[in-house]
Amino acid sequence: MSSEVERRLERALSAYAALADRAVGSEPGGAPAAAAPATRWRRWRAPVLVAVATAAVVIAVVITATVGHRPQTIRPAGQPQPSAGAAPAETGAGTPMPYELVTHCGIDEARIGTVYYEADHPLIVGAGNPPPGWSDPVQPGTMTVLDASRAVFRDDRGHEVFFHVRPGATGFRRLCD
């Protein structure tokens, strides 16, 4: 898709450069302009404009790819991320890990390393908000991996949410606004 956008952008910029060349190439009244400075600029203008436009497209793609995604789980520095196929012993099964549960759109999904979980009983109120008593946008607490397919979130307010693995998941089902 981006190559098609780049081609369209290049054609538009080339057409603009040609139009600008015609405007710069003559003085008011149709008299030819001095050739040396304008010729040098004309030779480099199209490649420079294409490079700037390409950079703008790349920046737009990066921004689009990152904006609107649900915030990822935050883990303390120095703690390794468990792999998708990690055995419970490798994920610290039975050991509570500090965890910030994303609650902004309700409590229905979690991620530990590269493994995606869904709540056994989602907690969503109204237009996707967390229930009363939960912090928004995240709730600090601990996540404990119980076994290869289950985990539990607990916090100091007494909340407890059980999660189970979403097999084959590579992202959240629903992205939060």
Tens-place pLDDT, residues 106-147: 899 999 989 999 999 998 887 777 888 998 889 999 999 999
The per-residue b/e assignment along 148-159, b for 16 or more CB within 10 angstroms, e otherwise, is eebbbbbbeeeb
- Pairing state between β 115-123 and 107-112: antiparallel
Task: Report the alpha-carbon angle 135-136-137, nearest 5.
Answer: 130
Give me the residue spans of the domains in the chain: 2-66, 72-172
Q: Is the pLDDT of residue 155 over 50?
A: yes
Phi, psi at 153, each rounded to 5°: -105, 135
Residue 61: its H or E element: helix 35-66
Measured from the Cβ of residue 161, the count of other Cβ atoms closer than 10 Å reads 24
Question: CA 111, CA 80: separation in Å to the nearest integer?
Answer: 14
pLDDT digits (tens, 9 = 90+) for 74-90: 444 344 444 444 444 44
**pTM, rounded to two decimals:** 0.49
Q: Residue 80: what pLDDT?
A: 43
Phi, psi at 9, each rounded to 5°: -65, -40
Rg, Å, the chain Cα set: 27
